[in-house]
Structure 1
Amino acid sequence: MAISATRAALSPENLGLIEAVARLGSMAAAARELGMVPSALTYRIRQIEDALDVLLFDRSARRAQLTPAGAELLRAGRYLLEELDAVARRVKRVATGWEPELTIAADAVIARGTLFELAEAFYAEAAPTRLRLRAETLSGTLEVLQAGQADLAIGVAANVTPMGPDIQTAPLGDIEFVFAVAPHHPLAAAERAISDEERQRYRAVAVADTTQRGRGVSHNIGPGQDVLTVPSMQHKLEAQLRGLGAGFLPLPLAQPFIAAGRLVIKEVQSPSRQIRMHYAWRQPRNAGSQGRALRWRLDRLQHPTTQHALLHHHHQT
């Protein structure tokens, strides 16, 4: 495909010519610096202006001064040159085994602060890989991995959906869910274990499953029960703090509010849920083709301290 005249005019070499003339203030001075005949440089600048259909320099003054259009081109051109240099560096480093981009899907139960701490540690490696974080919930967390929309899924429940043949998993740890309500919620006054029938008379707060296939999964919602559906675990926590509904929350997330008296744990006849969480990734058929960014992340996820932090260090902001 032929390169358009406009695009050709914006070559790094041409941008360098414009920068030299603007910096030195004359075609003659720029030509001397560039080792060109002045007439040849003037002709090149004219060609660029013709291709773009704009005047880049005001030639009525003694010095070659940029027009507003020329100043904008030079500003944007400097940015383009910096981007080209950055791309060249990334391409060179990608050739050493770093992926251009790594997409990580994190379930709603995963501590966001720890995710960003891991991102900070990764960026300290000066790796060329760009990170993309996705917030998912329930079966959607694994689904995006199976669909090729993520490279790594953190916070996969073992019983969400079947794993694919090329999906590898490893345990992340157990997380306890407790039934909690605001002190002013009607169920807060219950003096005995709350039955399923009594619990289902009140509105539940549920986090929406982010699956794109079917209706997704839900837990502890009775037939005909009123439900407030929210987009994240933080929204669920906020709704229950306001007394808008009741439901099960990860104990590490709820603990600070329980200690402060803003949430009350209530015993229920259905036992509190403890779920084994995993992380999962797509394993290349050729193990040697696994990217260095994914290997870096998998190495960190093997550490017990990292696993514990991802499930328990829910810093409130």
Structure 2
Amino acid sequence: MTINLDSLALLELIEARGSFAAAAVALNKAPSAITYQLRQLEDSLDVLIYDRSGHKAKLTPAGKALLEEGRKLLESTDALTKRVKAVASGWEAELRIVLDSVVPFEKAIPWIQAFDALESPTRLRFSSEVLSGTWEALYSGRADLLIGSRLDQNQFASATGLHIQSFGQSLFVFAVAPSHPLANAEEPLCIDTIRQYRAVAVGDTSRNFKPLTFGLQSGQAVLTVPNLQAKVKAQLAGLGCGWLPWNLIEQEVANGELLVKKTEDSTRQSSLCFAWQRGSQGKALDWWTQHLATVQLNFQPPQ
């Protein structure tokens, strides 16, 4: 049993033109040639596609199913053809972008919309990692573009052949829920005071790189959660204390749901950057790196 695309296209044309004769005219063929091609298709499938018992041939239920599914197949084939041609002209089939959890996905929405305006055939695939896991995804080839926190990864930039470009700053503040014991503690909080209470930490998602920790004290109890959004929720519930990026808790602080406490080292800054591998840059990656170069993220409270 064989169904070729020409036969499916013929069914589509007959339904669009309304009759075998009209389809024959459109194809510059004799009506008998159209009938013969349909007979071959029916014989191949061993089903009746058209009911010819009336004045005008009508699709049978099997014929309607074939037309419906055939349309999807023709559309998919057309899309595949365009995508293959686009890839041959320099567009990637897929661009994999890994976001550090410090950069909310909402920030990427206007960038995606700007990219969509190009009508590029490149599919975008976003993923999220934490700390060293973000850099490992890029270094291992699981991602083509990294958007996130620079951390201390500049140390291996030259060794791994990465382009790294800064495009903003993220401020981390020490925050607790009003119900937490540290809410009423004298400021600035010292390390020995903080160490007495459980910290909420985001687990590094690195598989092979050395996992990083952030803001933990030696001997401190730790509740490890999967991402920064979970860390915010845990601290809102009073389950622990810790450093949080200002952009993720600005509203909670304004509402009094979280309190920012001064510590001996006050605040912590993290440089935001985007990075990509040297040497293999298609049109989609080229657009993204050029576009992000015009962006400035400032995740800090107003002065």
The correspondence of residues 1-317 of structure 1 with structure 2, limited to 5 A, is 5-6=1-2, 9-11=3-5, 13-23=6-16, 26-160=19-153, 162-163=156-157, 164-213=159-208, 216-222=211-217, 225-284=220-279, 290-303=281-294, 306-308=295-297, 311=299
SS class of match (1:162): helix
Q: Name structure 1 gaps, 5 residues minimum.
A: none
Answer whether contact 1:158 1:278 (CA < 8 A) is retained.
no
**AA in 2 matched with 1:294:** L
SS class of match (1:98): coil
- State the number of aligned residues: 299
After TM superposition, the structure 1 stretch with the greater mean CA deviation from structure 2, 147-156 or 196-205, is: 196-205
Q: Distance in 2 between matches of 1:52 and 1:218?
A: 63
Q: Deviations over 1:158-187 (max 9, x none)?
A: 414733432111223332211101111221
Q: Distance in 2 between matches of 1:24 and 1:273?
A: 69
SS class of match (2:156): coil
Answer whether contact 1:101 1:129 (CA < 8 A) is retained.
yes
When residues 29 and 96 of structure 1 are mapped into structure 2, their CA distance, relative to the original with a 3 A threshold, is closer
After TM superposition, the structure 1 stretch with the greater mean CA deviation from structure 2, 113-122 or 212-221, is: 212-221
Per the TM alignment, residue 40 of structure 1 is displaced from its structure 2 partner at its CA by 3.4
When residues 169 and 224 of structure 1 are mapped into structure 2, their CA distance, relative to the original with a 3 A threshold, is same
**AA in 2 matched with 1:228:** L
Q: Distance in 1 between matches of 2:208 and 2:30?
A: 66
Q: Distance in 2 between matches of 1:224 and 1:76?
A: 63
Q: Distance in 1 between matches of 2:32 and 2:263?
A: 88
After TM superposition, the structure 1 stretch with the greater mean CA deviation from structure 2, 248-257 or 224-233, is: 224-233
Q: Deviations over 1:224-259 (max 9, x none)?
A: 644333322222222222222221101222222212
Q: Distance in 1 between matches of 2:209 and 2:139?
A: 15
Answer whether contact 1:107 1:138 (CA < 8 A) is retained.
yes
**AA in 2 matched with 1:264:** L
Answer whether contact 1:141 1:153 (CA < 8 A) is retained.
yes
Q: Distance in 2 between matches of 1:67 and 1:195?
A: 81
Q: Distance in 1 between matches of 2:53 and 2:223?
A: 70
Answer whether contact 1:111 1:312 (CA < 8 A) is retained.
no
Answer whether contact 1:173 1:277 (CA < 8 A) is retained.
yes
Per the TM alignment, residue 143 of structure 1 is displaced from its structure 2 partner at its CA by 0.8
Answer whether contact 1:22 1:66 (CA < 8 A) is retained.
no
SS class of match (2:296): helix
Answer whether contact 2:169 2:297 (CA < 8 A) is retained.
no
Per the TM alignment, residue 61 of structure 1 is displaced from its structure 2 partner at its CA by 3.6
| Root mean square deviation of aligned Cα | 2.7
**AA in 1 matched with 2:274:** Y
Q: Percent identity?
A: 44
SS class of match (2:244): strand
When residues 127 and 312 of structure 1 are mapped into structure 2, their CA distance, relative to the original with a 3 A threshold, is farther
When residues 52 and 248 of structure 1 are mapped into structure 2, their CA distance, relative to the original with a 3 A threshold, is farther
SS class of match (2:124): strand
When residues 205 and 49 of structure 1 are mapped into structure 2, their CA distance, relative to the original with a 3 A threshold, is farther
Q: Distance in 2 between matches of 1:202 and 1:158?
A: 25
Per the TM alignment, residue 294 of structure 1 is displaced from its structure 2 partner at its CA by 1.4
When residues 61 and 236 of structure 1 are mapped into structure 2, their CA distance, relative to the original with a 3 A threshold, is farther
Q: Distance in 2 between matches of 1:205 and 1:54?
A: 65
Q: Distance in 1 between matches of 2:192 and 2:202?
A: 21
Per the TM alignment, residue 214 of structure 1 is displaced from its structure 2 partner at its CA by 6.4
Per the TM alignment, residue 263 of structure 1 is displaced from its structure 2 partner at its CA by 0.9
Q: Distance in 2 between matches of 1:267 and 1:190?
A: 10
